[in-house]
Amino acid sequence: MKTKWFQVISLMVVLAFAFAAVAPAAAQPTLKPGGGNSADQVIESSNGVYIVQMIDEPVVAYDGSIPGLKATKPEMGEKIDPYSPAVTKYVARLIEKHDKAVKKAGGSKLYDYVYSFNGFAAQMDLEQATKLATSDGVLMVTPDELHTVDTSSTPSFLGLDAEGGLWEHLGGIGKGGEDIIIGIVDSGIWPESLSFTDRVDANGVPSAKGKKVFQQIPGWNGKCVPGEGWNASYCNQKLIGAQYFNAAWGPGGIDAQRPWEFNSPRDYNGHGTHTSSTAGGNYGVPTTGPAATFGSVSGMAPRARIAMYKALWSLEDGSQASGYTSDLVAAIDQAVADGVDVINYSISGTLTNFLDPAQLSFLYAADAGIFVSASAGNSGPTTSTVAHPGPWLTTVAAGTHNRGVTGSVTLGNGITYYGISLAGAAVTAPLVDSVNVGLADAVPAEVELCFSGTLDPAKVAGKIVLCRRGSNARVDKSLAVYMAGGVGMILYNSPDSSLNADFHSVPTVHVQSADGLAIKTYIAANSASATATINKAVFDYSTPAPYTADFSSRGPIIAGNGDLLKPDLMAPGVDILAAVAPPGNSGYNFNVYSGTSMSAPHVAGVAALLKDLHPDWSPMAIKSALMTSSYDVLDNVGTANKIFRMGAGHINPNAAADPGLIYDSGWNDWLAFLCGTTNGVGPATCSLLEMYGYSTEPSNLNVPSVAIGALAGTQTVSRTVENLYGATSHYEVSIEGLDGIDVAVKPAELILNPGESADFEVTFTTTTATLNTYAGGFLTWSDEHGHVVRIPMVVKPVALAAPVEIFGTGDPLSFDVTFGYSGDFSATARGLIPATTFTDTVLDDPTDEFDPEGPGVMKYDIAVPAGTSYFRAALFDDYTDGADDLDLYVYRGTTLVGSSGSGTSAEVVNLINPMAATYTVCVHGWGTDGPDAVYTLFTWVLGTADAGNMAVTAPTTAVIGENGTIELTFSGLAAGTKYLGSIAYTDGVTALPLNPTIVRIDTP
């Protein structure tokens, strides 16, 4: 099964924001009329479900501006009461409007969203969705999309159980998080796990006390919903709520689509149980099965309450769980209504859009005082892969921790190879290569990968088998060996990848590619006499840590042009031991998982501890405390690269309890940030924000980091800090790193009384720094009380700041550039050239596994001559014949040089200054709405010549730090044609070190 990062299409979203008045004259803004997307922008949904955003504010933001309807926005530190007359009356009004919209357009409503998002999800066809998009009161119509899932020693590694640690501050070892409610949006929960019993006594038996206490927690409005294999008695004073959401799965629901699943909050996959127990599982829970060798496990906030919101549904083999946006937003909305304090969201998400429905729901949740921890994504080590860009949530990268597990295998020739293993005892046996022990009718490639049912028991019984990593789950390979009678497995990477400690069906050691190939050579040379001993695993709790996990997604973010740092911070995410659900885990109750899915609940649990210790802290205060007290990973890379891996650094919970200063932000700050990064906030709101002193420059958002995606000469950013310490503090500033950039902080000293705030400015000026390369560093405030308040800074100096791409229809265009130097300047046209098109039919690929020689692939050879400045291949949703999901892959010979695989057919691959060669473009039918899809492929091969159809007017002189305006006019363009060109920049003699601005014109 192919795992994809599904990105929500970035369409214009006009938000119905209630502007929080900063002065008596401030008023409700005038919003852009007409809704957020026009009829021709609505994209067909793959499952026939659309998410509709309406114009009124949700419950958590409504300020009482409608006559006869009282305000429902909670006061600072309070939660909403969904059963209060004010809320029920306002909710009724919202739902009435939802119903009218559905009735007018047609369709069938699945969910009403009213608390953290105002809108609904409905089953409808494209014609109905298009009609709805232009209806009064509708802001945005978004097609539903599918998203996937993205600790015995970590409490000690984090210092929670140390003398003077957070647990001690909150009542003692194993304490912390009392009555803080952690909402988990995930794949469900296994209620029988001892991590979620009311209490666990010395014999591991659940206490019978307090079965109904969960109903009496102040501010809690949740419930325990019955379902398949589940009744209300499974909830208790630990697991206080459990609900499930699967309306988006179509006719017959989840029973028809995934009949092995539990149509209830019960977990099949294990992912939700794992994240829940990591964040808030009970203290000192004894492990069982293969995990028993590790001892007991504890959650980060052992006294916190857990509420499960199941919206992910598992594959039958338990290898993956996924869920639709419409179900996920329903889960978030319900969690806000129920009164959770913290939300953990270990699920994939958008890379490009601050305002997709989930990000928008989290925006309102944060404004309501809820801390959100989200996984950064598992697409590392590639840069710019980090997900969940919203500054109002905390995006968490994954690192290693200090529990080392060393595995080894000794061959019959005496050579020992080392890797990772959880083997509880040594095993010696004859050694065979999987490629030599397959059944006669098995597919050779599947035999090599040790697929279930491909190994011959007559050749495997009593032997250790060498298996190659890939395609099927690692634990499925050892199960296949076990089922064929094998007694051990050597798993080797090919190519090199992470080494993972899994609970296998037979003793297993996992080694890298070179060692695996050496073992393969040994077997080939000693066919009948090859033997091996898989040695007992060695555990070590002094392994140097943390390092960044290879899989952890990196910055810089794609959204916002690099003017915000993501990820925010790092937590343990490699080989994390926690409770799981037995059905998807070979019957085990505990297992080790790796991923940013595992790092996010560490932060959610620690946030619950800080909320317990400091009930008056806002979500951003908690985030700031965690970021400013963090420390560096051990990666031996440059400072900027390190920051893009770890954010501010690895969490240090005990130091976060007393951070000294915080960088706080709230509703108006976030709106101002959106004014500078999207067109999602109306101009009147943005003007009003600026009138009252809110900067719409994205780099000025008051977060505990600084990011400037394009430093053209010089730029000044501002920040505000607040003293949370109980005494007057004298802070002095220091700067580390940022070589080749002059950094001036004004003022350089701050004297703050308790609760007092102060502003400061940081001015960055390029001196000798390399252009177009990020520089990294840190700004630190230190006081006489021992507080060290550090924030990361990443800055990319450029000779010119200009748009990456602009779009038009043939009318005149203009855009501004900012100069990073002083001297001569010119801008020249390349192109425009019309697209070369290929209209064809591609079959659906039943394997969902792209192979250039496999099924469901159409190929096109494109000649790219010397001197080509830009090559683009693109597909468009409007140019397929249905709700198809097509992907693009581009090869130069056998080398993959670019790919695009979103959740629709909106795909593009760009190559800048490509090597002269013949490139092969592959269109892959990953998911068609029938047996095939009819599509049009567009390609452009752009040189450096001016085609004479685009005239450029530009300044002739550049002045560092100042702006210049580029004006474009067009002539002689054919109707109904997609053109591509670019604007190249020089200092009058040589090209500036900046990629040309791409110009795309679609003539009507």
Residues classed as catalytic: 186, 271, 597
Beta strands in 755-825 (DSSP E): 757-766, 775-782, 788-798, 800-801, 805-808, 813-819, 823-824
Which residue bears the tokens 């099964």?
A: 1
Closest CA to 502 of 583, 398, 576, 599: 576
HEC sequence for 139-182:
EEEEECCEEEECCCCHHHHCCCCCCCCHHHHCCCCCCCCCCCEE
What is residue 259's DSSP assignment? T
Residue 293 — φ and ψ, nearest 5°?
-65, -20
Distances in Å between the Cα of 147 and the Cα atoms of 172, 336, 612, 981 are: 39, 21, 32, 35
* Of the candidates 358, 306, 359, the residue with the CA atom closest to the CA atom of residue 188: 306
User: For the chain, what is the radius of gyration of the CA atoms?
Assistant: 29
Count other C-beta atoms under 10 Å from residue 616's C-beta: 9
- Residues 384 and 861: their CA atoms lie apart, in Å, by 29
With b meaning 16 or more CB within 10 Å and e meaning fewer, what string describes 794-831?
Answer: bbbbbbbbbeeebeeebeebeeebbbbbeeebbbbbbb
The neighbouring-strand residues paired with 465 are 432, 489
Q: How far apart are the first and last CA of the chain?
A: 40
Cβ within 8 Å of residue 786, ≥6 positions away: none
Write the CA distances from 58 to 94, 181, 355, integer angstroms: 8, 22, 15
Name residue 929's amino acid: D
Closest CA to 90 of 121, 122, 112: 112
Q: Which amino acid is at 236?
A: N
Dist. CA 289–CA 291, nearest whole Å: 5
Contact residues for 745 (Cβ-Cβ < 8 A; gap 6+) = 733, 735, 760, 761, 762, 779
Alpha helices of 715-800 — where are they, by DSSP H? none
Report the alpha-carbon distance of residue 51 to residue 475 in Å, rounded.
37
Question: What whole-number distance in Å separates Cα of residue 312 and Cα of residue 81?
Answer: 27
| Cα angle value 148/154/156 (rounded, 5°) | 165
Q: Nearest-5° angle of CA 379, CA 381, CA 382?
A: 70
Find the helix packing angle between 619-628 and 596-613, rounded to 10°. 110
Beta bridge partner(s), residue 592 = 577
How does 94-114 read in b/e, with b if 16+ C-beta sit within 10 Å? Answer: beebbeebbeebebebbbbbb
Q: Which residues of 493-530 are buried (b: 16+ CB within 10 A; e: fewer)?
A: beeeebbbbbbbbbbbbbbbeebbeebbebbeeeeeeb
342 neighbors 604 (Cβ within 8 angstroms): yes
What separation in angstroms does the CA of 429 have from each of 463, 464, 533, 986? 5, 6, 7, 69
What are the C-alpha distances in Å from 904 to residues 46, 349, 900? 8, 15, 10
Task: Name the DSSP letter for residue 290.
Answer: G
Give the SS3 label for residue 715.
Answer: strand
